[in-house]
Amino acid sequence: MRARSVLAFCAFIVSVRSTLRTDRQFWLDLAHNELEEALKVKWNLNPAKNVILFIGDGMGPNTVTAARIYKGGESHRLVFEKFPHMGFLKTYSANKMVPDSACTATAMFSGVKVNQDTVGVDATVQHRDCEASLQTETRLQSLAALALDANKSAGFVTTMRVTHATPSPLYAHSASRSWECEASLPNHSPCKDIARQLVEDWPGRDLQVIMGGGRQQLVSNATGTDEDPISTSPWTCYRQDGRNLIEQYKTDKETRGLKHSVVMNNQELRELNVNETDYLLGIFSNEHLSYEHERNKGPEGMPSLAEMVRAAIKVLQKNENGYFLMVEGGNIDMAHHRGWAKVAVSETLAMEKAVQVAADMTDEEDTLLIVTSDHTHTLNINGYPNRGSSIFGIAQPSSYDGVNYTTLSYATGGPGSFQFYVHKDPTLPTGSMVTRRDPSTEDTEQYNYTQIAGIQLVENYHGGGDVAIYARGPYSHLFHNVHEQHYVFHAISHAAKFGNESRSSAVQVSAFHLAIIAAISFFML
With CA atoms as reference, report the closest residue to 345 among 159, 72, 61, 66. Answer: 66
- One-character DSSP codes across 96-154: -SS--HHHHHHHHHHSS---TT-BSB-TTSPTT-HHHHTSGGGBPPPHHHHHHHTT-EE
Q: Count other Cβ atoms within 10 Å, centred on residue 434.
A: 10
User: Using CA atoms, how far apart are residues 302 and 300, in angstroms rounded to an integer?
Assistant: 7
337 assigned to a ligand binding site:
yes
With CA atoms as reference, report the closest residue to 457 among 335, 333, 334, 338. Answer: 338
Contact 288, 235 (CB under 8 A): no
333 assigned to a ligand binding site:
yes
Report, as residue numbers or ranges, the catalytic residues: 101
480 assigned to a ligand binding site:
no
Q: How far is CA 351 from the centre of its chain?
A: 9
328 assigned to a ligand binding site:
yes
User: Using CA atoms, how far apart are residues 143 and 198, in angstroms rounded to an integer?
Assistant: 15
Contact 467, 60 (CB under 8 A): yes
166 assigned to a ligand binding site:
yes
Phi, psi of 387, deg, nearest 5: -60, 135
288 assigned to a ligand binding site:
no
Q: Count other Cβ atoms within 10 Å, centred on residue 19.
A: 7
Please state the residue numbers annotated as binding site for Zn(2+): 57, 333, 337, 374-375, 462
Please state the residue numbers annotated as binding site: 57, 164, 166, 328, 333, 337, 374-375, 462
Please state the residue numbers annotated as binding site for Mg(2+): 57, 164, 166, 328
